Amino acid sequence: MRQPDRIIRLKTVLAWTGLSRSTIYRKIAEGTFPAQIRISVNGTGWKESDVNRWIANPVGWRPRSESDFDDF
């Protein structure tokens, strides 16, 4: 059975990636870093699996397409 994906906050993303806040948001706008998801009216976070995929291959990372989810 697959573990549910955890949501991590910006502070954790900054620590794990070593990137600055402005770099993360610039990369999101460029499409080269996972976008955050809304978790409340004023809060956002990232799927842990998306950030881990980026950490494993930052240069080759691309957003998952709908067809990537067919394997689950």
Residue ranges making up the domain that contains 27: 7-57
Taking alpha carbons only, the member of 29, 36, 31, 28 closest to residue 12 is 36
Q: What is the pLDDT of residue 62?
A: 86
* Sheet of 7-8, strands arranged across: 7-8, 44-47, 37-38
Residue 30 lies in a domain: yes
Mean pLDDT value across residues 13-41: 96
User: Residues 32-53: pLDDT tens digits?
Assistant: 999 999 999 999 999 999 999 9
- As a residue count, the chain comes to 72
Residue 2 lies in a domain: no
Domains identified in the chain, total number:
1
Q: What percent of the chain has pLDDT over 90?
A: 75
